[in-house]
Structure 1
Amino acid sequence: MSYYNNPGKYPEYSPGSSRRRPGIFFIVVLALVSALVGGLISAAIVIPNVYGNQVATNQVVLGQGTTTPPVNVTNPTGFPIAEVSKAVGPAVVGVGNFQQKGRLFGNSGMAEVGSGSGFIIDAKNGYIATNNHVIEGAKKIVVSLADGRNVDATLVGADTRTDLAVIKISEVNNLTGAQFGDSEKLQVGEPVVAIGNPGGQEFARSVTAGVVSAKNRVLEIQGESSFNLIQTDAAINPGNSGGPLVNYQGQVIGINSAKNAEPGYEGMGFAIPITDALPFIQQMIEKGYASHPGLNVSIDERYTEEWAAQQGWPAGAYVAQVATGGPADKAGIKAGDVVTKVNEATIKNALNLTRQLFRFKPGDKITVTYYRNGATQDVSVTLAELKQ
């Protein structure tokens, strides 16, 4: 099992998961991960507001500028996948993550530590969507365009809770943006195409094809656990992260983000539905951060369902810390409590708590059920806004 990018920093990663995100980053062996995991995790908690000082000056409408043409899959002179690839390819980009690695041969020591994919969502303004884990920790981001240009990009917003990020390039001449489809209308068995840079620039804009294998899949990985994912058998490889999953009309219906790397399994890739992702992408463009609802508590991942059963306690999310004056504090929730329900939804672990809270908006009132000293209690909580 391998993890990418500082596995101890966000211990919401499920330590038992064999699924991984296909970005080319440092691989840390299981022994090191196990040693790092076990601290406090953040499941809809207080996290520093990295981008909170950026405010929107005006609303940006995605899809401005030149976009990819509609695809005629009945064209008798071509093949459907070839037509889709030809139409969407110009909107797909490579994303290089450069970090400081010490002085190398007398230069500044900036080196590419990983790469992934992305796609242009606004050709007029140069906005590009990708995964957070593709650009995480980057000191410099370089975008490779379909026409061969390599240009520097700036980070607009990044969100660990949804594994989404938006970057921007200033060279907007001759850019082509992607068209968006409606992932709500996807059908199991529908043909799809994945386009991206598996292995980096050497295999830029590789095309793989398959079908929608299933909908509403849930992975216990931070970011991806926030969505009902699209499962596909189109090959998703390291470097495909952040690239588009496209239907036969040439419309982006998903963002390729993860794969099942368990030995013996093939053809199990996962994509974030575009319809679910766009509101967060829009927020990052307008505000510089994605807004989420939260309880303002810290959750200890060491509290597992198995451990709880041994103690005779219920499964849930163990509250390790409560922010003074936050929603949970005002509702009477204390450190040592175990959150077992949000409204009528049963909570089994930290990621499950985050997932359920994401069904609401900041300011919404919910009922939280918690366990304390052998008894459960219901309290009303008004969710706070978390900025990241």
Structure 2
Amino acid sequence: MDENKFDKIKDVKWESVSDCRGEIKFKNNRMRSQVRKLFKGVAFILIASVSGAVSGAYIVDKKYSDKTYTPINQSLVETKDGNSKDGTASLPKNAVTKVAEVVSPAVVGISNSSEGFFGLQDTGSGSGIIFDPNGYIVTNNHVIEGAAKLTIKFSSGKTLRANLVGADPRSDLAVIKVDAKNLPTAKFGDSSKVNVGDMAIAIGNPLGEEFSGSVTAGIISALNRRIQYGGAIYKVLQTDAAINPGNSGGPLCNEAGEVIGINSLKIGAQQNAEGMGFAIGINEAKDIIKSLMTNGKVSRPALGIYGQGVVSEEKNIEGVYVVQVVEGSGAEAAGLRQADIIIELDKKKVTKSDDLSEILDKHKIGDSIQCKILRNGKTIEVNITLSEVKEKNR
């Protein structure tokens, strides 16, 4: 074989091998480059993640360093200002919360003890409102009626004995006093500005001291209700705020924390009439409270008669039949007699005793008032000077 040809073949093979080696070397370099890029990408992602976490932690620490989340209830708890530890400090206070904070310190519990077979016995309880820092408290007459001992319990838990200043059964109001100074007081509002639908908040001790300081809320349901209860007539505010027996004497407040009424009764319970509570309008109570503090009683104008509503068989005559004329009264001076029938008073028709009371409430002692009576089939007009007449047995 020709050696030159062999050399040529050998050269060709060698070149082919050389070319193959060169190709393999090129592919290895490219794989290494891809691996390097992969590692760089992973490293970049790791660095970015760590950097983001550090930055986020820094921002959170700066903005929320005064708050933390409890692992038990996951609620936000204030830790710096000390306002709350139960997670509610960041919530805005509503009207009921604000009124309760302002008025509750001026609301007291009243325990009534009277003489019994085994000595002093608890006969009832109710609520009261401190309206004067020198110890004056207003409550309901039925809360303190017949009491031999009155015990006052303050919102702080302190107890004091109280003395009766004055009571008025007709309005169901009474003023008592404790020997204390600088007491927290409630502010009286203006019940004439109350509207149906306004918020109403009641505070008191329903069902006794066990539930002292209870707060209920609702709305004003009606104005100027005339309610007859226990032989008396009340001009009251009606509310659907829950008012139970122990609430008697406690405040009914408006959204501003002003007392607009004194909770007095809850009638209709026998008929399962829920959501019907009543409070004496504070404007009605102010003059009575002032009179009780000054005189220990309320002086009201009176005609000076005892009477009852009558209607004739033909129903053509209605009025108030005079059962008795009080001696020394304005009615006696004007010539009224037993068996007279009052058909008009102050130029207003009357058919029952309540009508007389409503008219007299608009006058004062010493006023002269026109009265039309029916006597033996004849109509007579007289003027009666109103005077204060003491009650006496009929």
Class of the TM-score when normalised by the shorter of the 2 chains: 0.7 to 0.9
Match of 1:96 in 2: 111
Q: Is the 8 A contact 2:302 2:387 kept in 1?
A: yes
Q: How many residues align?
A: 301
Q: Over residues 17-36 of structure 1, what are the superposed CA-to-partner deviations in whole Å (9 max), with x where a residue is unaligned?
A: xxxxxxxxxxxxxxxxxxxx
8 A Cα contact 1:89 1:195, kept in partner: yes
Q: Tell me the alpha carbon deviations over residues 83-120 of structure 1, each in whole angstroms, 9 at most, x when there is no partner.
A: 11111101111112211112x2xxxx011111111100
Instruction: State the 1:155 CA deviation.
Output: 0.6
- Partner of residue 291, structure 2: 283
Larger Rg: 2
| Offset from partner CA, 1:332-375 (integer Å, 9 cap, x none) | 11122232322133323223322221111001111122233334
Cα distance in 2, alignment partners of residues 207 and 310 from structure 1? 53
| Structure 1 position 328, deviation (Å) | 0.4
- Describe the SS at the equivalent of 2:266: strand
Of 186-195 and 329-338, more deviation after overlay is shown by 329-338
TM-score (norm 1): 0.73
For structure 2, the 5+ residue unaligned runs are 1-89
Q: Which runs of structure 2 are paired with 1:37-186 in the superposition (5 Å)?
A: 77-102=92-117, 104=118, 109-123=119-133, 125-172=134-181, 175-186=183-194
Identity among equivalent positions (%) equals: 45
Higher relative contact order (CA 8 A, sep 6+): 1
Q: CA deviation at 1:259?
A: 2.3
Q: Is the 8 A contact 2:259 2:282 kept in 1?
A: yes
The corresponding residue for 1:331 is: 334
Q: 1:313 offset after TM fit, Å?
A: 6.8
**Aligned letter for 2:352?**
N
CA contact (8 A) 1:118 1:129 kept: yes
CA pair 315-132 structure 1, distance change in 2 beyond 3 A: farther
Distance 1:179 1:315, change over 3 A: same
Cα distance in structure 2, aligned partners of 1:132 and 1:96: 13
One-letter amino acid of the structure 2 residue matched with residue 114 of structure 1: G
Whether the aligned pair in 2 keeps the contact of 1:226 and 1:358 (CA below 8 Å) is no
The correspondence of residues 355-366 of structure 1 with structure 2, limited to 5 A, is: 355-366=358-369
1:173-322 aligned within 5 A: 175-221=183-229, 225-227=233-235, 229-261=236-268, 262-299=270-307, 303-304=308-309, 308-310=311-313, 312=315, 314-322=317-325
Corresponding residue of 1:353? 356
- Runs of 4+ that moved beyond 4 A: none
- How well do the aligned residues superpose, as a CA RMSD in angstroms? 2.1
Q: Distance in 2 between matches of 1:225 and 1:139?
A: 27
Cα gap change, 1:149 to 1:364, in 2 (>3 Å): same
Between 1:91-100 and 1:260-269, the stretch displaced more is 260-269
3-state DSSP of counterpart to 1:218: strand
**Worse-matched range after superposition: 377-386 or 310-319:** 310-319
1:175-234 CA distance string (max 9 Å, x none): 21101111111111100101111111111121111111111111123686253x211111
| Structure with the higher fraction of residues in helix conformation | 2
